[in-house]
């Protein structure tokens, strides 16, 4: 009886170790939700005053409310090598391999001195799950704006966007893809060029896997924050309304249009735009994810008719 018992104990120990190993790299919803508590990413400011016409059956008056500006975590953008293995564990089943999107990974000559590493990354843009915690956090500062993202909503799954993502059609023939210096992340003049936004697909050449993942995440964010793109996706946009000014198109290296919070392989408590400085951790399996924070302005409704606003800075 001792031998079977030892085998059972070894098996249980192996399962525990395996679960620990998986938990050490897998990104969970709980991790993502906790990341929303970031004053640096929020960047809450009072920027003006809104005016409203408030009427009763007996009279009308002009009321005011504070106009605020802050960032909202709209989506989680995953950039990963192996098809079907989104590092955000709970949503990986949304983008399994299919008949038109099977393998992934890198190609190389295995010559370390040659700068010709061909990389491929899948990308998923999924609504950020931390809305409730974020609203509680932002509410401590004052009135807060609603973002465009819906929790767990898939806005882009590259496995469903095969022609554009794996064959660069038709964007390989766009001027942005053919003319050097157009739509690039970083600059040649500063010797800090991470890559080109176009064509907005999964292939690129890069010797730094982290930076390659960031470029692909920027491409995915670029697509979903615009309407009418030649991709299979849902726009991550909402319409402007009275007293509400939502985020628009994401532009590379411009924090006024959006910024990134790294979620894996390291969980950051701050936000930045690409290219950003510092040590960039390399994911052992080529899996990366960022929260995309985008800027919104709004003011609390204080009447039936919005009369306008004045910015104070």
Place of tokens 């989680």: 76
What is the per-residue pLDDT across 299-308, written as a single tens digit (0 to 9) for each? Answer: 999 999 999 9
* Tokens at 59, concatenated: 């009279």
User: For 34-78, how does the pLDDT look when each residue is reduced to its tens digit (9 = 90+)?
Assistant: 999 999 999 999 999 999 999 999 999 999 999 999 999 999 999
Domain ranges for the chain: 28-50+66-302
pLDDT, mean of residues 84-107: 89
Contacts of 52 (CB under 8 A, 6+ apart): 62, 63, 64, 65, 243, 301, 302, 303, 304, 305, 306, 307
How confident is the model over 269-278, as a mean pLDDT?
Answer: 92
pLDDT in tens, 113-158: 555 578 999 999 999 999 999 999 999 999 999 999 999 999 999 9
Please give the distance of CA 3 from its chain centroid, rounded to a whole number.
51
- Structural contact between residues 280 and 258, judged by C-beta atoms closer than 8 angstroms: no
pLDDT at 6 over 80: no
Structure tokens of 118? 């061909």
CA 256 remoteness from chain centre: 15
């Amino acid at each position: 009886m001792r031998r079977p018992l030892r085998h059972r104990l070894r098996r249980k120990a192996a399962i525990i170790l395996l679960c620990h190993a998986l938990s050490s790299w897998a990104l969970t919803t709980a991790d993502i939700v906790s990341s929303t508590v970031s004053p640096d990413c929020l960047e809450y400011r009072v920027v003006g005053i809104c005016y409203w016409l408030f009427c009763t059956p007996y009279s009308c008056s002009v009321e005011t409310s504070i106009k605020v500006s802050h960032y909202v975590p709209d989506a989680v953008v995953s950039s990963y090598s192996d098809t079907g293995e989104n590092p955000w564990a709970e949503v990986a089943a949304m983008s399994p391999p299919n008949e038109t999107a099977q393998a992934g990974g890198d190609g190389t000559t295995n010559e370390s001195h040659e700068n010709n590493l061909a990389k491929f990354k899948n990308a998923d843009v999924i609504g950020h799950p931390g809305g409730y915690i974020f609203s509680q956090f932002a509410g401590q500062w004052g009135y807060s704006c609603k973002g465009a993202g819906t929790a767990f909503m898939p806005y882009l799954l590259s496995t469903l966007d095969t022609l554009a993502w794996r064959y660069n059609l038709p964007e390989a023939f766009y001027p942005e893809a053919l003319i050097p210096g157009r739509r690039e992340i970083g600059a040649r003049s500063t010797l800090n060029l991470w890559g080109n936004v176009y064509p907005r697909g999964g292939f690129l050449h890069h010797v730094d896997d982290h930076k390659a993942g960031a470029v692909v995440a920027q491409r995915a964010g670029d697509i979903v924050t615009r309407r009418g793109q030649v991709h299979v996706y849902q726009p991550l946009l909402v319409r402007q309304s009275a007293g509400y000014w939502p985020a628009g198109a994401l532009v590379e290296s411009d924090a006024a249009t959006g910024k990134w919070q790294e979620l894996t392989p390291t969980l950051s408590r701050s936000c930045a735009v690409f290219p950003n400085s510092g040590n960039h951790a390399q994911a052992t399996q080529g899996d990366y994810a960022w929260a995309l924070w985008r800027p919104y302005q709004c003011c609390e409704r204080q009447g039936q008719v919005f009369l306008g606003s004045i910015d104070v800075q």
